[in-house]
Structure formats: structure tokens, C-alpha cells
Amino acid sequence: MALKTYGIDFGTSTIKISRKGHGIVLDERNIVAIADKKNIIATGDEAYDMYEKAPPNIVVTHPVRNGVIADVANMTALLIHFIKKISGGKRLGTADYIVATPTNITEVERRSFYDLIASSTLKVGNIKIVEKPVADAVGAGLDIMSARGVMIVNIGADTTEISVLSLGGIVLSKLIPIGGNKFDEAIKNTVKKKHNLYIGDKTSESLKRKLASALPGVVASVNVYGRDVVSGLPVEVEINSKTVYESISEYLYSIIDSIRVILERTPPEISSDIIDGGIYVTGGSANIFGLDELISEETNLNVNICEDPANTVVKGLARIMDESGLSSLANQLKPKTFVD
């Protein structure tokens, strides 16, 4: 019998791991640095420090894209490294794993999460899958086991998942390709267009964190460094919140349009529950200033930004591991059976 159980949220931007009885034990960037196409020289936060700074022989890459595993080999190497890291150098025994997966993905993509762990060199007991909106809602402290319906919106790095849940399952769910990385890309393009300035992904992410607002009229600014489009020289430019708002507002309204689509398809009895409880928002971009007010204005519903929204999924996995009443939310996939 496995003595340890780990819950893993393979995010596009970050990988988070919780351990049964211990809560969150790892929260690092899901990124790896590879030298000469074969040697892994850095992982996680250390590799992120190299991002956009590495010479040509070092490739810094994200193994997960759009919420699914795009690079199995490097993701496997990263996982093994992180499990060893949180074990503190101790001998690795057999462990069970619970993995959060997006809802609207193919069965092949879902199984890839299972196969990644099962085919690794780790000593593996049982592997179970939890749909990400379920873990998200549990981590947000919502009661999804009752007949009372809840709506949760998770704005991740590459995707936003909008879900309605009841009786421990997903009634409706919609996954759209809009997330924090899209905001960052839009900010980069707008800064280039308005200020003739090239900036990197890290700088655009910093601008989003400091200046992003879902509402117009916010007055704030920061100085950033970049490369002038015309002269090619490094320069310092002041960027204001209006520029950032113009960059991301279209994407925010696309998310709201998708929320409306789900609300229109929601059964009337669950709609009444959502009117009472409101919409719950999680994910790394949930902290954008005024986001709750904008969604509330556009839907006429109360909007709740969950506490510690970036960690609700991995906290949900921790609760599912720790609380016996929630264990039924994790489903065990069967190993592949090959027939000649």
C-alpha cells in the first residue's frame, strides 16, 4: 500500500503539487532549460530566470501548452525532478497520484496525463483523475456534493474554463483559448504599436500585474525598459494603465460572452442557485482590478473573487485526498490493454 499521495496540477505556466496531509508542497514555474538539445540544466523557477536571456544553444521551453501536455519527455523529466525535490533527497517509495485535467479535452489528451506518470521511473501505485473544475470548486470552498448548483470561472495561463457544477459533477463546461498569456501578448503588441517599443514576455506580464484593470478610467503608470523599434537602442518608456486596458479589454469581453453562453444553457433550477450564490472566479488572472465589477455589470449577477485564486485547483486536490467524503470525485483510469 502506498504511503504517500500527491495531487498534481500541471498548469501551463506553473506546476503545483500537494501532498496528502501536508497541503501544497511545491509551486514552481512549469518550464525547463535544455542545453545542446539533450542536457537539462535547469528546471522550474531557476529555468524561468533564464527565459528570454539564454544563448542559442540553450532552449527554455514550457512542456504544457493550452492546458495539455505538449512535450512528454521534458514533462516527465520535470515531474521526476520535482518529486525528488519535495522528497528532500530521501529514497522514493511507492506513491499514489491524483491529477487535475481540463474538461473539454480529448480522451487521448486526458490519458496522456495518466501515461506520463505510469510510464515514468517513479514507483507508482494508483493514478486517479479529477476534472479541473471539480478540484477548482472544492479548493474554493464550495459545496458541490449537494443538489445546489454553482458556477465557477477559472482564468488560467492559456485557457479559461467556465463550468456549472452540481451533485459532484459537471453539468456544463466550456473551455476557451483565452488566458493570462493572451493578455501578455496583447500588451506587448499594443506597447509596440503605441510606443514603438519592443518588450519581452516577462515585462508584459509585469505590466499586467501592476496596471491591468477591467474598467476604464484607472490612472497609474510604471517605467519599463525595452528596445526602440526605430533606433534599435535600449530605452526607458512610461506605460500607463490606459494602454494595458486597451490591450486586454477585448479578451475580457470574450470571456464574458462565453459566460453568457453557459448561463443561457443552464437549466432554470440551477440558474436560480447561481442567482443566489453568484459567479465564482479563480485562476491567476482573477486578481485583475475591477474584474468582478465588470462581470457583474454585464451579467447582473454577484461575482465572488475566490481567496488565493491561483491555488484553488491544487488546494482542491489536497481536500479530495484528505477528506473521505470527497474521495469519490477522483476517478481511476485503467491501464491500456493491448490485444494482438
pLDDT reported for residue 1: 42
Helix (H) / strand (E) element for 151: namely: strand 150-155
Angle (CA) 197-184-179 rounded to 5° is 165
Domain ranges within the chain, ordered by starting residue = 4-135+313-332, 143-305
pTM: 0.92
Q: What is the pLDDT along the chain (340 residues), one digit of tens a residue?
A: 457 999 999 999 999 999 999 999 999 999 999 998 888 999 999 999 999 999 999 999 999 998 899 999 999 999 999 999 998 777 788 999 999 999 888 889 999 999 999 999 999 999 999 999 999 999 999 999 999 999 999 999 999 999 999 999 999 999 999 999 999 999 999 999 999 999 999 999 999 999 999 999 899 999 999 999 999 999 999 999 999 999 999 999 999 999 999 999 999 999 999 999 999 999 999 999 999 999 999 999 999 999 999 999 999 999 999 999 999 999 876 554 333 3
The owner of cell 527554455 is 60
Backbone φ/ψ region at 87: left (φ over 0), alpha (ψ -120 to 50), beta: alpha
Alpha-carbon distance 79 to 63, whole Å?
11
Q: What is the CATH number of domain 143-305?
A: 3.30.420.40
The owner of cell 540553450 is 58
pLDDT reported for residue 256: 98
pLDDT reported for residue 91: 77
Q: Are 163 and 133 in contact (CB under 8 A)?
A: yes
Neighbours of 161 (CB within 10 A): 26
Q: Are 208 and 180 in contact (CB under 8 A)?
A: yes
Q: Are 164 and 147 in contact (CB under 8 A)?
A: no
**Class at the top of the CATH hierarchy for domain 4-135+313-332:** alpha beta
Helix (H) / strand (E) element for 315: namely: helix 312-322
Neighbours of 253 (CB within 10 A): 13
Task: Report the side by side order of strands in the sheet with 95-101.
Answer: 23-29, 14-19, 4-10, 95-101, 124-131, 331-332
Q: Are 97 and 124 in contact (CB under 8 A)?
A: yes
Alpha-carbon distance 179 to 156, whole Å?
5
Q: Would the CATH topology of 4-135+313-332 be identical to that of 143-305?
A: yes
pLDDT reported for residue 104: 84
Closest CA to 161 of 6, 323, 11: 11
Cα separations in angstroms, 108 against 5, 126, 273: 24, 19, 34
Q: Give the list of residues 6+ apart from residue 248 with CB closer than 8 angstroms, or none.
A: 183, 186, 187, 208, 212, 288
Cα separations in angstroms, 61 against 65, 75, 199: 10, 10, 19
pLDDT reported for residue 226: 96
Closest CA to 306 of 291, 319, 318: 291
At 254, list the grid cell. 470574450
In order, the DSSP letters of 317-335 are HHHHHH-GGGGGG-EEPPP
Alpha-carbon distance 82 to 79, whole Å?
5
Rounded to 10 deg, the angle between the 241-265 and 180-195 helix axes is 140
Alpha-carbon distance 58 to 75, whole Å?
17
At 193, list the grid cell. 504599436
The DSSP secondary-structure symbol of 91 reads: P
